[in-house]
Amino acid sequence: MPSVSEIMESMEYGPSVEDSSAVRDWLAATPARGHFIDGGFTEAGDLFDSRDPASGDLLAQVTQGTADDIAAAVAAARAAQPGWQGLGGHGRARFLYAIARTIQKRERFLSVLETLDNGKPIRESRDIDIPLAVRHFYHHAGWAEIMADEFPGQQALGVAGQIIPWNFPLLMLSWKIAPAIAAGNTVVLKPAEYTSLTALAFAEICQQVGLPKGVVNIVTGDGETGAALVRAEVDKIAFTGSTEVGRAIRQATAGTGKRLTLELGGKSPFVVMEDADLDAAVEGVVDSIWFNQGQVCCAGSRLLVAEAVAPRFEHLLQRRLATLRVGPPLDKSTDIGAIVHPVQRDRILSLLDQGIAAGAELIGSPPAEGCFVNPGYLRAVSPANPLWSAEIFGPIATLTTFRTADEAVALANNSRYGLAAQIWSESATVATDLAALIRSGVVWINGANMFDSAAPFGGMRESGFGREGGRVGLAEYLAPPPVETRPDPEPNAEAAPVASEAAGIDRTIKLYIGGAQKRPDGGASYRAASGDLVPLGNRKDIRNAVEAAQKAGKWTTMGGPARAQVLYFLAENLSQRQRDLSRLHGADQVEAAIARLFHYAAWADKFDGWNVQTRPGHLVNVVPEAFGVMGIVCPNDAPLIGFVSLIAPAIAMGNRVVAVPSQDDPVAAFDLAQVMDSSDVPGGVVNIVSGPRRDLALTLAQHDDVAAMWFCGETGRDAVEAASAGNLKPVWALPNRDWSAADAQGRAFLDQAVQWKTIWLPYGALPAGSAGPAY
């Protein structure tokens, strides 16, 4: 045993192991565990093992859920939902508060159980996961209390199916259950196969606080159990996990009407500018990719470092890397714990071999004994290396240098993902400029992996859609006030080529692409219900329209006030042609279209984000951001006002659109395009392709450069939603209605025209450690 003087010389850590006896006694009391359905635990069924990844020891056996188990849980949730919603916001708030307090009282027990089941260091379970889980229930107790005032006329969706991953088991459970039940929904939750134990401990807490039976149901099992939940008669699916599984869920739910939130994979950029505080940035790497063994979907796994400071940054990084302690997760001195399962460890090492084979240089020594992987990073990783885009989901980063800020943005956005980004710069101007340009749902400036229940979290592109946390996260579990719908009539005009029958000078109607009239690629026309020959668009025309929309990016960056002025001018010029167009398309439609343009011109510079209350010393801004290129399939009914009601909110928010107008009467949309030509609407902002709406809609849904879609009607909706899984674009399927009515405009349309970006900006003299994930 070393002497005190020797210890003071070496400064080595001694063992400091958290006592796990209480947890092991709890596990031993029920070695085989059933599901939690309708307020009670079921008898154990077919079992699978839940093991401590650090030692391989058996912790418990857990029941494999079946389709019948899922059906029973959904039935219990369905029966409980009316009573739970009828309890009112204050009644629900009392239960959420009780859950939060009870988790706090059992923090040590839950921290140890989480560490045993997951393998993460006890410091992370104790200081991050459990406190944040408590925060979610406190925060949403508040939302339950004030929901009637803040969300007037909105009601719960019904029964929510929720599927969570294994990297933050109890935190992800809280992340999903708290907003769902605060809003009045009941839930069926499936925890990850590897890490079910804290979910079952949470079920005991639900019993302890007297939560009504059926409000929370927990069914354990593997991917087949999750698939059964996706197929079940639920009203919403909320999933956190891999992009591949998220894509399968999108396809499985297509056409069902189920609301969907997907929080998927990431390959987040970690940008270190030339003026960054390099010591702080190195600690940011520790808090990012080496936090939770790198098993974090939003980890800054792509280190993008300014070439001028890269040598110094790497020197500091390697020095810090050498001090990290890999070891027993229950030891309070451990920095890097165990990988959750040997299968995952083997996957990490296999991907590492692929990256090295493609030319990357490994810094560190990742292979370790047992279910551990030592931290490290790969140098000289170009965009051609498979590890540039592959999510390793382990404690391995890649490092690439850049020379200019423009190059940094280009490298950061060179990914199919868009979950999070981290920017390190001592200049707030530089950092916020990059934050606006990088395509990700969350941006941390001079910090890493900061979370709070008030701050929306979620991705863009193939990192999924929808948000969790805060006001917009709660809205994902609420149904908007009902509108009076009516069937969208099936097209009468057959979109098939016909020859012109004009005897004199014929009016030639063309597609509207890039601010110009364009002949259709196929050179064909079809006869509209009005008798006019109209262009018959095809896949290539959609491709050309999307390219034109992509080139019109200045519309997105010109700002709300400038877009408002253009929309007002468009309304003014439409009013100048009101008499002529009223004769062609009806006075009521033209008047309603003018009013609709005024409405969204008014909103263009007033649809604001907000700053949310999180931790001290941080400005956390929630900002609405345009999708970019949107595909809009307009109703066949009301060809002018239906068209304007959908394109106006989209372009008011800065999107550029490719619109498929009424198949029966697209002439109204093309007449409006002539007005756009004289109204300062930049070319490419609105593109109009007429033809068979189902075929054109499917082409838009399959196009990887279309970031979001709106689809009016029921026929063809399932195919569009299934096809959207290609790049995981959100699809808003909205019913036909009276497009002149008041409920055919407003915030509901604007909400669907943006994605929310959360930007964390520290300020002032921050207390030590406040820029990391722990409070």
Q: Are 712 and 485 in contact (CB under 8 A)?
A: no
Catalytic hit among 193, 263, 283, 476: 263
Amino acid at 562: A
**Interatomic CA distance for residues 532 and 535, integer angstroms:** 10
Amino acid at 277: D
Identify the DSSP state of 46. S
**Interatomic CA distance for residues 438 and 8, integer angstroms:** 47
- Report how far Cα 430 is from the mean position of its chain's Cα atoms: 26
Output b/e per residue, 7-36; b: 16+ Cβ within 10 A.
eeeeeeeeeeebebeebeebbeeeeebbbb
- Cite the DSSP H helix spans in 358-482: 386-389, 405-413, 428-437, 470-475
The answer for residues whose C-beta is within 8 angstroms of residue 525's C-beta and 6 or more apart is 497, 498, 500, 509, 533, 534, 535, 536
Of 213, 137, 216, 131, nearest to 182 by C-alpha is: 137
- 258 — phi, psi (to 5°)? -75, 135
Of 123, 215, 219, 129, nearest to 171 by C-alpha is: 129
**Interatomic CA distance for residues 377 and 369, integer angstroms:** 19
- CB atoms < 10 A from the CB of 519, how many? 14
Q: Are 533 and 526 in contact (CB under 8 A)?
A: yes
Task: Give yes or no: 369 in active site.
Answer: no
746 is written with which tokens?
């407003």
Which residues lie across from 531 on neighbouring strands?
none
> So which residues are the catalytic ones?
263
